[in-house]
Amino acid sequence: MRICRRRGPALLLTILLLPTVQFCRAQDSLTHLPMFPDEITVHGGIGYYAVRDAHISNNKYSGSSSWFELRWSWFHETYGFRLGLTYQSADNVKNHNVSAEITQGSLQLATLYSLGNAPLFGRSVSFSAGPAVGFLIHFRSQNIAHNNSSDPNIFTSGLWMSSLGARMEMTTPLWTDVALDGALQLSLFSIGAGTGQAGSETIDVKLLTPFGALHGVGTVGLGFEPFAGTLVRVGYILDVVRIESWNSLIASNDIVVLTLGVLL
């Protein structure tokens, strides 16, 4: 499995952004967000984490990971908010016999506005989009024995990044109480800092464009209401971090997620 090469999710996310989609605004009901309910949800998943970090090594480390998110969503007619707090842990990513522990967390807030509905593959799809802000931390520790006289920068790596970006979502009903949904969120402009190339110390804070630092999250899933006021969802997430400013780092996490929620 190669880092960041996922044709299926990429195809769906491309569909979400098709410039040829013609949005319908003639009907009053399309100016609301009926397919995006108010909810509190808990997400848990297992994944495959892969990373190349030039501060530690140019080799790829990979292994299993766990992922959790707590999210609150609130919508009012033509606009709404999503607030999410995530935590990811990969305790044993390996390159041959060398392993490392990775911890990653984020705080995301998106404001979404209704774009209306559009026909796609014979179905009516609801779209929304808007600005998003996020904060990301990433920390890595090598599982290597060392004495107190060793330079600790050789065995640890980390970064933080605060970003302004954009988010787009879609959802369409498939059957009664069952819906297909997808989302794409990208950082556009960021400030951040982190460890540099091998053996170097933390650098000063930098202003970053998508060419210097990028955090992207794409999701797709199926959700349904087993009982009134409840939500169960099964989905897939691709979470990618790429740094080319103070260090060369690329990390991806493929996650299968189960969501349980309460509709407000």
- How close are the terminal C-alpha atoms of the chain, in Å? 40
pLDDT tens digits along 80-105? 999 999 999 998 899 888 888 999 99
Taking the CB of residue 124, how many other CB atoms lie within 10 A of it? 13
Higher per-residue pLDDT: 117 or 68: 68
Per-residue DSSP letter, 26? S
- Of the two residues 236 and 5, the one the predictor is more confident about is 236
pLDDT of residue 153: 55
Report residue 17's pLDDT band, with 50, 70 and 90 as the boundaries: very low
pLDDT digits (tens, 9 = 90+) for 174-192: 888 889 999 999 999 999 9
Pairing of strands 178-194, 156-175: antiparallel
Cα separation, 30 vs 24, whole angstroms: 7
Residues sharing a CB contact under 8 Å with residue 10, sequence separation 6 or more, in sequence order: 218
Average pLDDT over residues 133-139: 95
Q: Is the dihedral of CA 222, 263, 120, 7 positive or negative?
A: negative
What value, to the nearest 5°, has the Cα angle with vertex 215 and ends 210 and 220?
Answer: 125
Quickly list H helices, the chain. Answer: 7-16
User: pLDDT averaged over the chain?
Assistant: 82
- pLDDT at position 61: 92
Distance CA 264, CA 252 (A): 33
DSSP collapsed to 3 states, 98-154: EEEEEEEEEEEEEEEEEEEEEEECCEEEEEEEEEEEEEEEEEEEECCCCCCCCCHHH
Q: Are 71 and 44 in contact (CB under 8 A)?
A: no
pLDDT at 8 over 50: no
- pLDDT exceeds cutoff 70 at 11: no
pLDDT band at 21 (very low <50, low <70, confident <90, very high): very low
Question: What are the structural domains of the chain?
Answer: 7-17+42-263 (2.40.128.100)
What is the pTM (predicted TM-score) of this model? Answer: 0.81
Residue 108 token pair: 């995301």
Strand partners, 52: 250
Hey, how many other C-beta atoms are within 10 angstroms of the C-beta on 229?
A: 11
Per-residue pLDDT tens digits for 194-227: 876 555 566 778 898 999 999 999 999 999 988 8
